[in-house]
Structure 1
Amino acid sequence: MAKQDITIKTADGTVPAGLFRSGSGSGTKAGVILYMDAFGLRPALDGMAERIAKAGYVVLVPDLFYRFGDYGPLDAKTAFSHPDTKEKIMGMLTETTQAKVKEDTRHYLETLAENGATGPIGTVGYCMGGKFAIGAAAYYPDKVVAAASFHGGGLANDDPDAPHRLADKIRGRVYVGAASVDRSFPPEQSTKFADAFRLAEVDFTLENYKGMQHGWTVPDHGVYDEGGAERHWQRLMTLFAETLDAPRAG
């Protein structure tokens, strides 16, 4: 497994990112963008990216908080327990908007192509990254053929560019894994999301993970659940195998 620490230029600055690939395979490759949770780039996300890359994909993990300079490291277990750290994270979350990440994603797609991922692209996002993973499928439908969100927040809130408002732009497949206990994606949002995606005739699945809490998939979270995480991996890798590996017309 090979990881490269790279930087990506955008209109707003320079994005630190990790690029992961297995080194096996030849010819056109599919790529994956992993949109981070609220605690930044760290070994836990590296391990998750490596697991995806071992399936033969080129995986990019960008630092979505690059506009804020040196903000870390952040401890996923304790960061929200300290008022100062919590306020800092919440400020970065608020300022990292769908519109900004939309523009950044154009550069992420170019970076993947430059590094051999010239085929279809999948996205996956955790926590704050969930809405960006789905947003990428809406804004770049010619490239992003699969998008997954796990314990993603604000998927159907009042924001003008919340994912449920983007459903009619999506042509790929979407999977949403929701924690049964999650204030950032309560039942009323779940219903609104499902209704919007059904009306737009999107090929989507919204699955409730009974007993899981927000953050259950990421190994360094205090609510990490090994069984629930493995279920998430099965769903994610099946989605990518059925969309990124399948022969495509044309």
Structure 2
Amino acid sequence: MPTITDAVATPDGSCPVSLHTPDGEGPWPGVVMYPDAGGARETFRTMADRLAGLGYAVLVPDVYYRDGDWAPFSMATVFGDPKERQRLFAMISKVTPEFMAADAEALFDYLAARPEVRGESFGTTGYCMGGRTSLVVAGRVPQRVAAAMSFHGGGLVTEDADSPHLLAEQIRAAVYVGGAQEDRAFTKTDAETLDKALSDAGVHHTIEWYTAHHGFAVPDNAPFDDAAAERHWDAMRTFFAAHLS
């Protein structure tokens, strides 16, 4: 798939991105793919290529760009290495909902200006931390998001004032959430709370459970599950076709 490496100007600097498009003539609907806690890397560029093959212009942002030229994480060892785990969580803590929204505005403006992309509203999809970002952006930048997806997303329901489920009244997008089994970051109780918030707000939404563990959709994650990952690709194909194309 054709890929463009670029940078998007944001209020806080310059966010490196890769834009992945289908072969052939555009323009296509745009989707922002938010990486998991490991950040933008080759795994997500490969995933973006696959989503592009379904007929979308897919943008993968470096959500950690405020940390400068950060060293990549090894997803096989990061959680077992105390120093690397500390570095990872320190970087995660800097990606606040305010930064997510400000960056999303810039990313959406970038997509809207690209000749490969059509329309002024877009899709979002994300994994783990990126799954939370996808819903936060749908709630904080609602006029620009038509379809928002979250896979094994964590922190979708918390006691914090900036919990994504509290943004339900602002969301205009259709929402899909794919939860992992035995996931302490998104429990059955969390799902019930999120479902009620979205239902009360009149948000078209789907919450489904996958018989796989947190990280099931991302190939370089230890819990990657091929069957669950294929199911997640089927879900994206169907959901974006219904609500974005």
TM-score (norm 2): 0.95
**Does the CA contact (< 8 Å) of 1:152 and 1:184 recur in 2?**
yes
Which residue does 1:182 correspond to in 2? 183
Which residue does 1:108 correspond to in 2? 107
Q: Deviations over 1:170-209 (max 9, x none)?
A: 1221000000121111222222111111111110011011
Q: More deviation in 30-39 or 134-143?
A: 134-143
Distance 2:37 2:158 in 1: 18
Distance 1:42 1:96 in 2: 17
SS, match of residue 139 in structure 2: helix
Distance 1:110 1:201 in 2: 27
Q: Deviations over 1:213-240 (max 9, x none)?
A: 1101000111100000000110111111
Which residue does 2:242 correspond to in 1? 242
SS, match of residue 109 in structure 2: helix
Give the CA deviation at 1:134: 1.2
Give the CA deviation at 1:21: 0.7
Note the residue ranges of structure 1 that are not aligned, 5 or more in a row: 246-250
Distance 1:63 1:122 in 2: 17
Instruction: State yes or no: 1:35 paired with 2:34.
Output: yes
Q: Deviations over 1:79-113 (max 9, x none)?
A: 11100000011111111111111001000001111
Which residue does 1:170 correspond to in 2? 171
SS, match of residue 9 in structure 1: strand
**What percentage of aligned pairs have identical amino acids?**
39
Which residue does 1:45 correspond to in 2? 44
Note the residue ranges of structure 2 that are not aligned, 5 or more in a row: none
Structure 1 runs of 4+ off > 4 angstroms? none
Which residue does 1:207 correspond to in 2? 208
Distance 1:237 1:25 in 2: 20
Count of residues paired in the alignment = 243
> 1:125-144 counterparts in 2 under 5 A?
125-144=126-145
Q: Deviations over 1:20-49 (max 9, x none)?
A: 1114233x5310000110111111101110
Distance 1:205 1:48, change over 3 A: same
Distance 1:94 1:217 in 2: 23
> What code does the residue aligned with 2:193 have?
K
**Does the CA contact (< 8 Å) of 1:172 and 1:202 recur in 2?**
yes
Q: Deviations over 1:135-171 (max 9, x none)?
A: 2222233321100000000001122221100001112
Distance 1:56 1:235 in 2: 14
> What code does the residue aligned with 1:122 have?
G
Q: More deviation in 69-78 or 80-89?
A: 69-78
When the two chains are superposed, the root-mean-square deviation of aligned CA atoms in Å is: 1.2
Distance 1:97 1:179 in 2: 24
SS, match of residue 118 in structure 2: coil
> What code does the residue aligned with 1:217 have?
A
Give the CA deviation at 1:114: 1.6
**Does the CA contact (< 8 Å) of 1:40 and 1:72 recur in 2?**
no
